[in-house]
Structure 1
Amino acid sequence: MASAKLVEKVKRDFASYLKRVNLRSTEQRYEVLNAILEIDGHFGAEDLFIQMKNQGKKISRATVYNTLDILLELGVVSRHKVGNTYIYERAIGRTHHDHLICINCGAMIEFASEEIEKLQDEICKKYKFKPLRHTHQIYGLCAKCSEKGKMS
């Protein structure tokens, strides 16, 4: 979970954004935000919706998906395409990392590489490009799926 100070900043930024784009500040939107701030790993939007419903939250599927879009724009979550679906993870309060994604079973392996980060910085500098955020994803087969010798 993110620090209390960071959580408060995220909530202020969220409220400010909703006001700026003329969206209602609803309890349900904040429940989605709070649920995401508690999650430490990867999750699907549908899984989040079901989890919240199972907890007795009065939440619509549309609210979950729309709030995820807002939080993606604010940089609170990051999104990764795995097959035909998107997987999310909390982006704030975590160290930066990249992913190896198995196209067969959907396994996601997190890794960090100072060499890749340095190379990205050099490329941005060369092209006078100011990076704001990025994700690096490598798609392939995990060790278990490679061992099987074929995709299911």
Structure 2
Amino acid sequence: MALENQELRKAGLKVTLPRVKIYQILERAGEGDHFSAEDIYKLLIEQGEDVGLATVYRVLTQFETAGLVSRHHFEGGHSVFELASDQQHDHVVCVRCGKVREFTDPELVRRQNAIAEELGFRLTDRTLYLYGLCKDGCEKR
């Protein structure tokens, strides 16, 4: 049985073709790749799949509810998805083209924990989004 089928069943979801295809796209993503629902829809169309955009949104929401994917909401209403991971990481987002890159920095995590402790908190979760202009042409415009 394919890994995506096992993951879907483990999450309590019925194995359907749209779910499998969407999971495969997310699974094959390069490290640090994040896809919007529209990105996934376009990739499915390029693959010759007959799946509607509403179905993509519905499946991604089901995946999020089941804990299979993480949704990141960025300024301007831009949302992207990635397979859920135990590895904590942060994101830098281009405010012009929407490109998202992820990074990890143990010193940054240590410093955030120290700040929280100084203020009388124990962190249970954290999210950091940095915004700027990417060097892929957006910075020069």
TM-score, length-scaled by structure 2: 0.70
CA RMSD in angstroms comes to 3.1
| Contact 1:97–1:112 (CA under 8 A) maintained in structure 2 | yes
> Which of 69, 83, 86 is 1:77 aligned to?
69
Counterpart for residue 82 of structure 2: 89
Correspondences of 1:135-146 after superposition (within 5 Å): 135-142=127-134, 145-146=138-139
Q: Could you list the per-position Cα deviations for residues 34-76 of structure 1 after superposition, in whole angstroms to 9, with x for gaps in the alignment?
A: 2222222222211211211221223221111111112223333
- Give the structure with the larger helix fraction: 1
Partner of 2:60: 68
Percent identical among aligned pairs is 31
What corresponds to 2:21 in structure 1? 31
Count of aligned positions: 134
- Moved segments of 4+, more than 4 Å: 143-146
Gaps of 5+ in 1: 19-23
Q: 1:84 to 1:124 in 2, by over 3 A?
A: same
Runs of 5+ consecutive residues of structure 2 not aligned to the other structure: none
Name the aligned partner's letter for residue 41 of structure 2.
F
The answer on whether the counterparts of 1:98 and 1:135 sit within 8 Å (CA) in structure 2 is yes
TM-score (norm 1): 0.66
Residue identity in the other structure for 1:10: E
Give runs of aligned pairs for residues 100-115 of structure 1, distance below 5 A: 100-115=92-107
Letter in 1 for 2:7: V
**For residue 13 of structure 1, what is the amino acid of its counterpart?**
K
The equivalent residue for 1:130 is 124
3-state SS of 2:35 partner: strand
Deviations 1:127-148 (A, max 9, x none): 35533xx4321113345645x4
